[in-house]
Amino acid sequence: MQDTHKKAFDMTADLNSHANTQTGNRGLQIEEPLIFEQDSMGHCGVDWPDFQLSHDHLGNLHRSKPIGLPGLSEPQIVRHYTRLSQKNYAIDMGLYPLGSCTMKHNPRLNEKIARLPGLADLHPLQPLDTVQGALEIMDRLAHWLKVLTGMPSVSLSPAAGAHGELCGMMAIKAALDHRGEKRHKVLVAESAHGTNPATAAACGFDVEAIPAGPDGQIDFDLLLQKLTPDVAALMLTNPNTCGLFEKDIIKIAKALHDIGAFFYCDGANFNAIVGKVRPGDLGIDCMHINLHKTFSTPHGGGGPGSGPVVFSEALAPFVPLPYVIRDQNNKFCLIEHNDDGHSVGRLKAFHGQMGMFIRALTYMLSHGADGLKQVAEDAVLNANYILASLKDIFTPTYNRFCMHEVLFDDRFLDGTSVTTLDFAKAMIDEGYHPMTMYFPLVVHGALLIEPTETESKESLDQFIAMMRHLAIQAKNGNQDLFKTAPCLTPRRRLDETLAARKPILRWVPEANH
């Protein structure tokens, strides 16, 4: 099978080398210029009626030169965006092994419910009497999040995971201020997401990293040495970014509380333990939950995101506004002002991402408590199936079962001159989005793979066969396969360093270059 696959690849690569066509197209893969480069004077997608310009309402503010929009007909526009959509890879296209980001399948039921009339056209300024159903959705979602985490309080308003971190750390700072304490240091696990130390610093704390031990978990003995009276909190991800459950987490929580510090948990990987473990039972004081990661709301493209935060009893008085309550007349109300003055106040305009709340609650209700537990078990099973199937040819970083994602390092590439980046580019030619590379930073040449719970055994087997094939090619010295990859994409390998340091973010006419 692998020989056949190799022959097919070699034939395709050979054809590709002769694919210099007159049009720039390759087969039915159409070369797509920018929309501005398709400008054709006089074309327009709509027919405007004749009208007279009036300057009465604009004074001297009328436009003095052309706006610079391209002229295209409706068919040109439709074709342009259809072609662009075909160049986009998504979880609905195939297995998406990106670790740490959890590209989950978005059930179509979620989308159907979120688009129901009455929900899709809600406005945050509607009178409360007209949005009782929407407020009940928020109340029920809050209830589920509290039950699943074992935490008594929740804020739905944060707009994303990092915003949730800010929310949690602001509450910790407010609680310390309320106690009259000026603790200035936040400890952050070395394997943390980069947003953790950035958030702590944004809240005015000094950040000190806590390294992991040889087992990939936080070094508990070293942590104890760092727990001085000036420590405000520890920020830790669990399961951590190495795909491991922190076995000392209860001892860590107790040690923090013994010195009066708080325990912040990055809930990015809650999908691995939802329905199995309640973070509140572990001694955690606050944790953000990325709805897209655990409860299957859309991810990517910058939003709209949603990162609710759950709080312990100790931090509940400092929860941001607004929040929903049911009053004595059994009506739902938004609490937008807090007379006791403890709340950290508003984090954003309005009340959060309603569309994401609907999708997340739909996911919860359609799965039920037992279904959510099954989601976590399937995610862990899939990751360990990949680990068991590849560990003889790849190099697992840690010799133990993993949670929802499996971590390899680049030792299996020693002596091949193939790098993790080269390997990832070759995966693209095989029709797979690469896994997360070079993260977590504590692992050299990291390959972090997360298959998600919705992948079938057949799709996992196909992915595993592809990974084994590439590993064998690397070990056999077939460097061209990797150094020239990707060969089958509209664009070949890009200068990623130049793109990162000198990005061209705005199109300008060629004459203006």
Give the tens place of pLDDT for each residue, 391-443: 999 999 999 999 999 999 999 999 999 999 999 999 999 999 999 999 998 89
At residue 153, the pLDDT reads 97
39 CB burial (10 A radius; 0-12, 13-18, 19+):
middle
User: Which residue is listed with tokens 């106690």?
Assistant: 179
**pLDDT of 4 higher than 80:** no
Of 70-79, 100-109, 371-380, the range with the lowest mean pLDDT is: 100-109
Mean of the pLDDT values across residues 441-449? 95
**pLDDT of 89 higher than 70:** yes
Using alpha carbons, select from 195, 364, 357, 202 the residue that is nearest to residue 268.
Answer: 195
CA distance 346 to 487: 50
CA distance 511 to 288: 49
Q: What are phi and psi of 42, to 5 degrees?
A: 95, -15
Q: What is the pTM of this model?
A: 0.89
At residue 31, the pLDDT reads 86
At residue 6, the pLDDT reads 45
Using alpha carbons, select from 378, 407, 370 the residue that is nearest to residue 275.
Answer: 370
**Taken in order 423, 425, 427, 430, is the CA torsion positive or negative?**
negative
Mean of the pLDDT values across residues 187-210? 94
Task: Give the DSSP letter string of 141-152.
Answer: HHHHHHHHHT-S
- Quickly state the pLDDT bin for 7 (edges 50, 70, 90): very low
Say whether the peptide bond before residue 304 is cis (omega within 30 degrees of 0): yes
CA distance 305 to 319: 19
Task: Find out whether 184 and 177 touch, Cβ atoms under 8 Å.
Answer: no
Of 49-58, 373-382, 441-450, the range with the lowest mean pLDDT is: 49-58
Q: Which amino acid is at 493?
A: R
Strand partners, 396: 408
**pLDDT of 18 higher than 70:** no
102 CB burial (10 A radius; 0-12, 13-18, 19+):
buried
Mean pLDDT for the chain overall: 91
Return the H-helix or E-strand segment holding 395: strand 395-396
- What distances in angstroms separate CA 393 from CA 244, 386, 390, 435, one per listed residue? 21, 12, 6, 17
Q: 334: helix, coil or strand?
A: strand
Largest CA distance in the chain: 78
Using alpha carbons, select from 275, 436, 461, 446 the residue that is nearest to residue 385.
Answer: 461
User: Which residue is listed with tokens 């509209």?
Assistant: 490
From its phi and psi, is residue 347 left (phi > 0), alpha (psi between -120 and 50) or beta? alpha
**pLDDT of 466 higher than 90:** yes
Q: Which amino acid is at 7?
A: K
Residue 510 DSSP code: G
**pLDDT of 17 higher than 70:** no
512 CB burial (10 A radius; 0-12, 13-18, 19+):
exposed
- Quickly state the pLDDT bin for 19 (edges 50, 70, 90): low
CA distance 324 to 339: 16
At residue 511, the pLDDT reads 66
At 256-297, the pLDDT tens digits run: 999 999 999 999 999 999 999 999 999 999 999 999 999 999
At residue 157, the pLDDT reads 94
Return the H-helix or E-strand segment holding 465: helix 457-475
Comparing 4 with 493, the larger pLDDT belongs to 493
- What distances in angstroms separate CA 488 from CA 26, 81, 104, 426, 484, one per listed residue? 10, 21, 26, 10, 10
Task: State both tokens at 47.
Answer: 């027919």
Using alpha carbons, select from 393, 388, 448 the residue that is nearest to residue 244.
Answer: 448
